[in-house]
Amino acid sequence: MIAVRAESLDFISVYCPNGKSTGHPDFPRKLEWFDSLAEYLSEAFHPIGRHQLVITGDYNICPSPLDTWDEDLLRDTIFHTGAERDRIGRLAALSLDDLFRSLYPEERAFSWWDYRGGSFYRNQGLRIDLMLGSAPVRARVKRVYTDRDFRKKRGEETPSDHAPVIAVLE
């Protein structure tokens, strides 16, 4: 986690633990990490609604069935468990909104695609890179999008399996 204040905007970038699989010892550690994040945010930014706060990064959780290419196939696997989605819900309960979902409540869009099996070109992805924001930030959001073109292979360069998520604020 890296945090910076620029002007009146508090901006936090996170890489949340992956958890590896639901049976791996890292999975409960992932859940504990999210509990610690919620505790930190509630203490450091109390009340959150008074702050211009953005928390962005790789959350390694699909917040809802709309955020995965195949919920039925992947339900209860890593990134798709009730325990993980509960942790995103706890952040929302702190008055943090998913900035993409606040503008596009029914749109299916992804930010990550596995390298294997041509999943990018078949659009078999996950939306695990999120931007959460306080109400004052949400009121300033004009657009949030994933830059899919950045994810495409160019020449000999190997792209990341993630694409950048960008928010435009007024």
Catalytic residue ranges: 15, 58
The Cα 79–Cα 128 span in angstroms is: 8
CA distances from 156 to 116, 145, 159 (A): 17, 26, 9
DSSP calls for 124-135: -EE--EEEEE-H
Q: Is 133 within 8 Å of 99 (Cβ atoms)?
A: yes
The Cα 151–Cα 124 span in angstroms is: 14
